[in-house]
Amino acid sequence: MVFVPAGEFTMGSSSEQLLKMAEVDEFPQRRVFVDDFYIDLHEVTNAQYKVFLDSTKVEAPPKWIDNSYGLGEDGLPVISITWEEATAYAKWVHKRLPTEAEWEKAARGVDGRTFPWGDSFDRALANNGEQLMPIMSYPAGISVYGCYDMAGNASEWVDGRYEAYPRGPDDFLPRGVPDRHEMFSKERRVYRGGSWNTFSKYLRCANREHTSPGKKWIYVGFRCAQDPSWKQK
């Protein structure tokens, strides 16, 4: 895991960014304080998840055969995992899913960058191709804290309900941008980071995607977080 120190960072997207690639559910942009936390260096792999599966007898991901992944797929991120299954794995390893704010801070740092490496998309720095790749295949695309694959490869569940960000009296949407407040739902969970089969705009650090916590998507995996208090025990 890597350590992310406490402090404020820029979360979300501005009204100007809404007129470019950003989505209305990322608005408004604001400064958010996050306490110290640890986050996994990389996404949870098939090999890591199999230890959990063998020990707890939970249901294997849909494409696994006889409770096992394919030959040579040890280092691929585990995918087709529900939010509940990701949460259960995290608890089993004495961790938890990161909050939306923690995930975004770990991905973009404190300078409000668009992607983990900077403000311009570069396909050489993230898996935005045709298939899932082993973890840490794009070392030049790490975040400022040293996290791998926070853009592309597998999307990642976070511990967040799909709710609107709080708005202040001066947070006005640009003319022509619909509010779409009806799209939010406390019953849906958020996943972050984009994946290998999505457009580059979905790999932005501020981008939010959402679905039912019971869904198993072939492009969604997860990584875990942990409080410093646990590491000190």
For residue 127, what is the domain's CATH number? 3.90.1580.10
Q: For position 121, what pLDDT does the model report?
A: 95
pLDDT in tens, the chain (233 residues): 999 999 999 999 999 999 989 999 999 999 999 999 999 999 999 999 999 999 998 999 999 999 999 999 999 999 999 999 999 999 999 999 999 999 999 999 999 999 999 999 999 999 998 899 999 999 999 999 999 999 999 999 999 899 999 988 888 888 878 777 778 899 999 999 999 999 999 999 999 999 999 999 999 999 999 999 865 55
Question: CA 98, CA 104: separation in Å to the nearest integer?
Answer: 9
Position 177 scores a pLDDT of 80
Number of domains present in the structure of the chain: 1
**Has residue 3 been placed in a domain?**
no
For residue 102, what are the CA distances in angstroms to 9, 32, 34, 121? 10, 10, 7, 22
Long-range contacts of 119-122 (CB under 8 A, 24+ apart): 121/200, 121/203
Say if CB 162 and CB 185 are below 8 A apart: yes
Amino acid in position 14? S
Amino acid 116: pLDDT: 97
pLDDT in tens, 181-224: 778 899 999 999 999 999 999 999 999 999 999 999 999 999 99
Angle ∠(23,24,27) on CA atoms, nearest 5: 105
Backbone angles phi, psi at 107, to 5 degrees: -80, -40
Domain around 129: 10-231
What pLDDT, on a 0 to 100 scale, did the predictor assign at position 210?
96
What is the reported pLDDT for 232?
54
Among 13, 78, 9, residue whose Cα is nearest residue 208: 13
pLDDT given for residue 178 in this prediction: 75
Residue 180, domain member (yes or no): yes
Q: Is residue 119 part of a domain?
A: yes
8 Å CB contact between 179 and 120: no
Q: Is residue 1 part of a domain?
A: no
2 within a domain of the structure (yes/no): no
Q: Is residue 4 part of a domain?
A: no
Question: For residue 5, is it within any domain?
Answer: no
